[in-house]
């Protein structure tokens, strides 16, 4: 449904520029709210469990914030809350947002000529009914060699410091060095 025909409101519970762009390109109007949670305080053994737990925690935090602010769902127009999370798995270890330029550089150099996996989740909560559905997906990403100059430019630009594993596949500097993406999705609830 494009803008003007939707019979619901959308709250995007994410700082992600990519997620904002997806909804915008689809023609949806939405409000952005971010969750103030300690992501490092939430740990799970499997990356799939971690991204689901983080997206759930974000949804719970935003719902609590809305309730504190006196938000009430109007009968005529339900609101959908969309929360999500992504991690990168490299050599069996979960990578979240890099903590420094040096760590981001180390992350990206590691992907050069090799592969990594992205594991992402999306949770959609109907604030009127309380119904919540979610899923996770995993994609293996194979890279050509990434030149140091490209890595330097990505680091200096700074966007890679704000994303899981310092990895933005769709970035114009990164995309030419993506050899293949092989993925699947799994419905969790």
* DSSP per-residue letters across 137-178: EEEEEEEPPPPHHHHHHHHHH-GGGGSGGG--TTSTTTGGGE
Catalytic residue of the set 38, 60, 75, 85: 85
Which residues, at least 6 apart from 120, have a Cβ–Cβ distance to it below 8 Å?
51, 84, 85, 86, 87, 136, 137, 138
SS3 97: coil
Angstrom distance (rounded) from CA 127 to CA 117? 32
Angle value at C-alpha 17, between 136 and 186, nearest 5 degrees: 10
The verdict on whether 152 is a catalytic residue reads: no
92 sits in the region (left: phi over 0; alpha: psi -120 to 50; else beta) called left
To 5 degrees, how large is the angle CA 25–CA 144–CA 163? 45
Q: Where does the chain show beta strands of DSSP type E? A: 9-13, 31-32, 79-90, 93-95, 115-126, 132-143, 178-187
- Which residues form the catalytic set? 85
């Amino acid at each position: 449904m494009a803008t003007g025909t939707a019979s619901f409101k959308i709250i995007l519970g994410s700082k992600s520029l990519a997620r904002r762009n997806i909804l915008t390109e689809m023609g949806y109007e939405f409000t952005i709210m971010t969750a103030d949670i300690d992501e490092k305080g939430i740990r799970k053994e499997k990356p799939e469990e971690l991204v689901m737990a983080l997206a759930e925690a974000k949804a719970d935090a935003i719902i609590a914030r809305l309730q504190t602010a006196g938000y009430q769902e109007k009968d005529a127009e339900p609101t959908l809350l969309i929360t999500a999370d992504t991690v990168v798995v490299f050599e069996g270890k979960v990578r979240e947002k890099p903590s420094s330029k040096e760590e981001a550089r180390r992350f990206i150099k590691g992907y050069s000529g090799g592969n990594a996996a992205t594991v992402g989740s999306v949770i959609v909560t109907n604030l009127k009914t309380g119904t919540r559905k979610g899923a996770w997906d995993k994609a293996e990403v194979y890279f050509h060699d990434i030149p140091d100059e490209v890595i330097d430019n990505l680091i200096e630009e700074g966007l890679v410091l704000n994303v899981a594993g310092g990895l933005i596949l769709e970035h114009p500097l990164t995309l030419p060095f993506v050899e293949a993406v092989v993925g699947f999705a799994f419905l969790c609830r």
